[in-house]
Structure formats: structure tokens, C-alpha cells
Chains A and B, each alone.
Chain A
């Protein structure tokens, strides 16, 4: 159970890491604007053309609750583990007496 809690904390950290690596967006992006510098064939000048391309960049709207949930679950598992140990200890004590 303790191991499970540590796995939850590690996964929560991973969620936060992915969010940082994806650009720390507030909202998850399913499309991203990509800017290309192209020469306008009609006018001969350079212009920046922006195109939407499909992407998946996780935002705080997903990463936040996911990481929060995992941390909550981790602490829950630690709490249950501690309680179980305490109950087991007190049972052993009462049996000895």
C-alpha cells in the first residue's frame, strides 16, 4: 500500500512534468498555430502564414485535476496503511495481554 502511495506521488509529479514540457497551457490544446515564413508569389514580399495543425498539448484543465487526484489518492493510501498498522499493532498488544 505504501508502494502504491509512492507510485501515485510519482505519477502526480509526472503529470506536472508533462504539463511543464507541453508549454504550461491553462487549457489543453487540440490544435496549434504553426507559423511559416513564405514568399507571396503574387506580391513577392515575405509574409508569415499561420496554419492550424492537430496536436495534443496537455493543459492545467486536465493535468491539474489528474495530479491533484493522484496526490489525494497517495495520501489516502498512506492514511489507510498507517491505520491498518495501528489496528494490527493494537490487536497484537491486546492478544499479548
Chain B
């Protein structure tokens, strides 16, 4: 009888069903901007992530975000092929850009009723062009039942990841830092 009551409670309340750490599969688009004195390049990339989180305790958020380098687009095919080349991101040698969450700093308590919203600070290992560096980024989480939306904004310095490009291009036609804005959506498993 107790088992039946518990099972019924879990079925009726998605919030309760997610109280235990659960898996999340999310995917989304990453928008990035290189703002240099000569040229502003706006691009996109496709990303996905496998995460685990207990929404009752957001500090349990763990997982890896992955972006396929070959999915990066700038609106000019020749420029895209240069971007994949050895002088830039070297897509053959380093096909993925990843961010592995190591720790989460939870700020204020989640707000909202039907849609819960919370902002946390995610610290983790950002790997690009074969080099890894610890970064911290603000992450906004929204969830409603089993549906989840994760968004973040941060900057990547090309110098930190050994991306030199052709001489004289970085800081002139390509920004020294790239502004990244990513939004992922998905469902809890």
C-alpha cells in the first residue's frame, strides 16, 4: 500500500520525480561573435550536453557540454574552411570543444511557480584546440516539469587556447576574445 502511494505521488508530481539526481539530454545553438577593428564576424555552432542534476539542489549539476567544431558557420564557406584549418581551430586534430562542469556555486533560491528559474555559477574545464583551461560562467537554468532550458554567456580568449591564426589577423580582422552566447534545451530522462 505504501509503495502504491509513493508511486502515485511520483507520477502526479513531476517536481518530486526530479528530486533525485536525474539525467538531462540537451541540445542547442551557440552564437558567437568576433568583434575586431576591421571586421565583425557572427557565427553559430551546434552543441549538446549530457547532464545530471537534482533540481532540489542545483549544486549537484554535473556533465559535459560538447560542440562539434565542424558545425561552426560564419556565412562564408571559404572563411568556414579557414576556421577548420590548422592555423585556426584544426578540426581534424581537435574535432570538439568541450566544457566539463566541475563545481556549481548556487546563488539565490529558484524563483517562479510553473517555470522555475535559477542562476548559478558554473566552474569547469573548457577545452578548445587541444588546450584546457578552468573557466567560470554564469548559467541560467529554467525548468518546467521535465523540460529544461540552460543558457550562458561568456568570453573565450584565443590566446589562452593557442589559437594564433595567420600573423597579424588576430586583433585586426579577428577579435582577441570571442563572445559566446549559448542556449540549450532538452528533457530529463
A residues adjacent to B (C-beta < 8 A) = 25-33, 40, 42-45, 47, 50, 52, 55, 59, 61
Query: Which single member of B44, B77, B78, B115 contacts A50 (CB below 8 Å)?
Result: B44
Q: Which residue of B lies closest to A55 (CB)?
A: B75
Query: Which single member of A26, A31, A43 contacts B115 (CB below 8 Å)?
Result: A43
B residues adjacent to A (C-beta < 8 A) = 29, 31, 38-39, 42, 44, 73-79, 115, 142, 144, 147, 149, 173, 183, 185
A-B pairs under 8 A by CB, number: 46
Which 4 interchain pairs have the tightest Cβ spacing? A27-B76, A31-B75, A29-B75, A26-B39
Q: Judge whether A30 and B144 touch: CB under 8 Å.
A: no
Q: Judge whether B79 and A42 touch: CB under 8 Å.
A: no
CB proximity of B146 to chain A, nearest CB, Å: 11
CB proximity of B168 to chain A, nearest CB, Å: 14
Q: Judge whether A42 and B75 touch: CB under 8 Å.
A: no
Question: A61 contacts which chain B residues (CB < 8 A)?
Answer: 78
Q: Judge whether B149 and A32 touch: CB under 8 Å.
A: no
Question: A25 contacts which chain B residues (CB < 8 A)?
Answer: 39
Q: Which residue of A lies closest to B42 (CB)?
A: A33
Q: Judge whether B75 and A52 touch: CB under 8 Å.
A: yes
Q: Judge whether A31 and B31 touch: CB under 8 Å.
A: no
Query: Which single member of B44, B73, B79, B142 contacts A43 (CB below 8 Å)?
Result: B142
Question: B79 contacts which chain A residues (CB < 8 A)?
Answer: 27
Q: Judge whether A30 and B149 touch: CB under 8 Å.
A: no
Q: Judge whether A45 and B73 touch: CB under 8 Å.
A: no
Q: Judge whether B115 and A44 touch: CB under 8 Å.
A: yes
CB proximity of B40 to chain A, nearest CB, Å: 9
Q: What are 7 sample pairs from A and B whose C-beta atoms fall under 8 A apart? A: A26-B38, A27-B79, A33-B75, A43-B115, A43-B144, A50-B31, A55-B75
CB proximity of A46 to chain B, nearest CB, Å: 12
Q: Which residue of B lies closest to A54 (CB)?
A: B75
Q: How far is the CA of A31 from the CA of B75 in the complex (A)?
A: 4
Taking A31-B75, A43-B142 as known contacts, 18 extra A-B pairs with beta carbons closer than 8 A to each other, sorted by chain A number, are A26-B39, A27-B74, A27-B79, A28-B76, A29-B75, A30-B77, A31-B76, A32-B75, A33-B42, A33-B44, A33-B75, A40-B149, A42-B147, A42-B149, A43-B144, A44-B115, A47-B183, A59-B76
Q: Judge whether A43 and B39 touch: CB under 8 Å.
A: no
Question: B78 contacts which chain A residues (CB < 8 A)?
Answer: 27, 61
Q: Judge whether A31 and B144 touch: CB under 8 Å.
A: no
